[in-house]
Amino acid sequence: MDTVFQLSYSPCPNDTYIFYALATGLVDLSPYKFNIRLADVEVLNGWARNGTMDICKVSAHAAAHIMDDYVLLRAGGALGRGVGPLLLGRSELEIEALDGKKVAIPGRHTTANLLFRLMCRNAGIEVETVELVFDQIMPAVKNGSVDAGVVIHEGRFTFGDYGLFKLADLGSWWEGYCGLPIPLGSIAIKRSLGPEVAAKINNGIRESIEIAHSDPSIPWDYIKKNAQEMDDNVIRQHIKTFVTDYSVDVGSEGEEAVSRLLGEAALMDGVKLPELPVFIKS
């Protein structure tokens, strides 16, 4: 008899590229099947915090709040160098000029917000944050309803179309701050499912990535459908940027980066991390 797991990830091209072969049965993990739901990253973070999902893509920041109940898989995440969120404005200005201003963020528990808070702390400024769905941020900056915005996903490639200016690359800031790649998101699985199930799911995700790597046209229709209005070239840039070698296996440097970010998140949010493994065993 099949066991059905609740699996969720975002409709962004990097996630649909990674999960296509698993979602469509090209990777057979019998007796395990999946009920799949796609949602915005902050919705995913909320589902994980509520324990709604068995397996869930989460922001690395949000992971600090769920480690009692979840462990991170080694495959399927978004982590790398030169891949971080951007802080955008309508004109070129120094970060200190945002003191007391309104800045849009793509969710309170996103890694983007954590990085922005860390940068503001180090710059000695305070801002008023406004939570918006990620695709509403650039229009809000452009129309002046906020003074600046932290953008994720394809915003890295398309902000020029809105006439906006890059005020800071938060990934580059993080790399300068601690010398490590920036962990954006990971795949969390409930600890209660046990290590054997976790290892099998992890291997299935890795195989799914390898199938997509072998022929990127295989998942293309699925990626395109979920990316909606995104330009084909932007989709390809998105995948190239956010699906890295760390997505196949986080590796020792990736583990160090995630642990460092979890520690920063715990300090900023006033939470205590449990003394439990962060990742499943390799």
* CATH number corresponding to 3-80+183-269: 3.40.190.10
pLDDT band of 158, cuts 50, 70, 90: confident
> What pLDDT shows up at residue 154?
77
Which residue has better confidence, 152 or 140?
140
Contact 3, 32 (CB under 8 A): yes
Q: What is the pLDDT of residues 25-54, one digit of tens each?
A: 999 999 999 999 999 999 999 999 999 999
Q: Which contacts of 21-25 are long-range, i.e. CB under 8 A and separated by 24 or more positions? A: 21/207, 21/208, 21/211, 21/212, 21/218, 21/219, 22/204, 22/205, 22/207, 22/208, 23/222, 24/222
Percent of the chain with pLDDT over 90: 90
User: Measured between alpha carbons, how far is 9 from 47 in angstroms, rounded to an integer?
Assistant: 11
**Spatial CA neighbour of 235 closest among 127, 149, 158, 145:** 158
pLDDT at position 161 over 90: no
pLDDT band of 82, cuts 50, 70, 90: confident
Pairing of strands 102-105, 128-131: parallel
Q: Among all chains, which residue has been given the structure tokens 């975002």?
A: 10
pLDDT band of 219, cuts 50, 70, 90: very high
Contact 8, 35 (CB under 8 A): no
pLDDT band of 160, cuts 50, 70, 90: confident
Select 91-178's CATH number: 2.30.110.10, 3.40.50.1260, 3.40.190.10, 3.40.50.1110.
Answer: 3.40.190.10
Question: Token pair of 54, please?
Answer: 């068995």
Burial 179-200 (b: 16+ CB within 10 A, else e): ebbbbbbbbbbbbebeeebbbe
> What pLDDT shows up at residue 133?
87
- The pTM assigned to this predicted structure is 0.93
Q: What is the pLDDT of residues 87-121, one digit of tens each?
A: 999 999 899 999 999 999 999 999 999 999 999 99
> What pLDDT shows up at residue 30?
94
**Spatial CA neighbour of 153 closest among 122, 184, 116:** 184
- Is 153 a known active-site residue? yes
> What pLDDT shows up at residue 229?
66
Which residue has better confidence, 1 or 181?
181
3-state helix, strand, coil in the chain (%, to 5): 50, 20, 35
Residues 145-165 have a mean pLDDT of 89
Q: What is the pLDDT of residues 134-151, one digit of tens each?
A: 889 999 999 999 999 999
Catalytic residue among 61, 65, 109, 153: 153
Domain limits, the chain: 3-80+183-269, 91-178
Distance of alpha carbon 81 from its chain centroid, rounded? Answer: 14
Q: What is the pLDDT of residues 263-274, one digit of tens each?
A: 999 999 999 999
| Coil, strand or helix at 247 | helix
> What pLDDT shows up at residue 210?
98
Angle, alpha carbons 11-81-110 (nearest 5°):
45
Contact 146, 75 (CB under 8 A): no
| Fold matches, 3-80+183-269 and 91-178 | yes
pLDDT at position 86 over 70: yes
Question: Token pair of 188, please?
Answer: 């969390």
Q: Mean pLDDT score of the chain, rounded to an integer?
A: 94
| Coil, strand or helix at 197 | helix
pLDDT at position 73 over 90: yes
In order, the DSSP letters of 5-49 are: EEEEE-SSHHHHHHHHHHHTTSS--TTEEEEEEE--HHHHHHHHH
Percent of the chain with pLDDT over 70: 99
pLDDT at position 248 over 80: yes
